[in-house]
Chain A
Amino acid sequence: MQRELFEPKIVGFFCNWCSYRAADGAGTARMKHSPNVRVIRLMCSGRVDPCFVLKALARGADGVLIAGCHPGECHYIEQNYKTIRRYTLLKHLLHQLGISERRVRLVWASAAEAAHLTEAIDEMVEEIRTLGPLNWSANLAEDSGHLDAVERILLEHQQALEVSR
């Protein structure tokens, strides 16, 4: 029996000045790439608060793709260096929490590099397909019996009272 192909959900945070334009360029040039990345346009990759990435993963994304200008070419001079530092810290943290660093990827793509960006997207989609779904909310579920256990306490207290009477 053939298993259905897993389609990863990837959230993309793209810089307005380069990668988002590269994505635009890919569209204009009718380049084909996997449709799994939902792109959110930001003014700079330096705007990517680690909180955005954590929230995406916690709420159902299988991966996060951050795309920005090449180092040295930031529209805001040096913010993408901060992106490298935040991204490195974040990967260090995710590793300890058991999330593969391949799920969060940082790529540099200038406005002219539409082909490079679409390749990076396709590569990431394939990689996450191999890793499988993240399905973070499943980590938080308790055994089905835990609510029964809470209700049983009241019952036990009532029975104990009857015995003591």
Chain B
Amino acid sequence: MSAQGKLAIYWAASCGGCEISILTLNEKILDVAAAFDIVFCPCLMDTKVRDIEALPDGTIDVCLFNGAIRTSEQEYMAKLLRQKSKVLVAFGSCAHEGCIPGLANLTNRQEVFETVYCDSVSTDNRGRVIPLPETRVNGFHLTLPVFYDTVRTLGQTVAVDYYLPGCPPEAPRIWDAVVAILENKLPPPGSVIGAQTTVCDECPRTRNEKKIRSFKRTWQIIPDADTCLLEQGLVCSGPATRAGCEARCPQVHSPCIGCYGPNAGVEDFGARLMSALASVIDANEPEEIERIIQEGIPDPVGTFYRFSLPHSLLRRAARVPDAERHELPLPKPAQ
């Protein structure tokens, strides 16, 4: 890139950790600042949305968009930044797969509102007032963004050029992506910028044959320092997760929780992890298998889709569970 490129960094349903992660580039952030003119970044600067709206389409060279899409305002910003950006990068797990905000897909808008605005212990809201998209106050018409029932990923909302996984993306991988963009050595559009192997390949622990009779929670055992954590009964997401973090968690005796998302070629993270776990359970009797699973994995969605529920094949829980549906009486077949 000859002249200074234009960079935008935006956040939607996210925690702000992705911005912090950009700062962990440390002194290399100066190289980023030298290569790019940051035109929009609500975390750092007070640029107005109206200034972005006024830009001709495709003015921004690269937009790093972090956060999932759960309100109409976030959808609007995703569409606006898509229109104004040459390259749109889904930056971090929320934009890529929905991440922790995406676990709200186990419930719905009404339940989220009731918990947040009415029923949480520290809330005093006896009138049960909840935010409405439109209100009239003293003759003024006030609006708020519409809150969606289902959290979506950026890729489910607009066309995304590249995905940078991780919660948050690790600084060396961000730097790799910046270099790839500056040197124009990018993979085909639509790809994930990252490794093609799993966390297990980066993990220094020794792997033997795995035979698991019971799964353990992290607080139940002090794991041995050199053996594979899955072998010791901890549910480690390493076999399904894309490499890129240098196996940070397993290195400090904590199992991988899958923040780097599904490895290349994996369509559904949870399905891959379930397949991997099924192979290591050391039981053949259905009752014994049932016991190991029921006792060891109390929260299957939280275990298999902690970072990827909106990105999974089913995307969310049923609005009305089968168990609560009124069973239909069978009509007589036509004679």
Contact B334 A5 (CB under 8 A): yes
Bound-state CA distance A146–B145 (Å) is 9
Bound CA span A160–B48, Å? 12
CB of B328 closer than 8 Å to a CB of A: yes
The listed residue with most B CB atoms (<10 A of its CB), out of A4, A88, A130, A146, is A88
B176: interface (CB < 8 Å):
no
- A129–B329 alpha-carbon span in the complex (Å): 9
Assembled-state Cα–Cα distance A138/B316 (Å): 11
In the bound complex, do residue B148 and residue A5 qualify as a contact, i.e. CB atoms below 8 Å apart? no
Assess whether B333 is interfacial by the CB under 8 Å rule: yes
Interface positions of B from 1 to 55, Cβ below 8 Å from A: 49-50, 53
* Set B274, B286, B333: member contacting A93, Cβ < 8 A: B274
Interface residues of B in 296-335 (CB under 8 A from A): 297, 299-301, 304, 312-325, 327-328, 330-334
Q: 26 A-B Cβ contacts within 8 A? A: A50-B268, A50-B271, A50-B275, A51-B267, A51-B272, A51-B313, A54-B314, A55-B267, A58-B315, A81-B284, A82-B278, A85-B279, A88-B289, A93-B300, A98-B320, A99-B321, A131-B325, A132-B328, A139-B316, A139-B317, A139-B319, A143-B146, A143-B149, A145-B146, A154-B53, A160-B50
Q: B45-82: which have CB < 8 Å to A?
A: 49-50, 53, 72-73, 75-76, 79
A contact residues, range: 35 or more
Q: Are A97 and B314 in contact (CB under 8 A)?
A: yes
Residue of B nearest to A106 (CB): B286
Tell me if A86 is interfacial: C-beta within 8 Å of chain B. Answer: yes
Tell me whether B333 and A92 are in contact (CB under 8 A).
no
Interface bin, chain B: 35 or more
Mark B155-194 against chain A: 1 for CB-CB distance below 8 A, else 0. 0000000000000000000000000000000000000000
> Are A150 and B313 within 8 A (Cβ)?
no
Closest 10 CB pairs of A and B: A98-B321, A98-B318, A100-B322, A51-B271, A85-B278, A149-B72, A50-B271, A149-B146, A54-B313, A86-B278
Chain B 235-276: CB-based contact to A (< 8 A → 1; otherwise 0): 000000000000000000000000000000001101110110
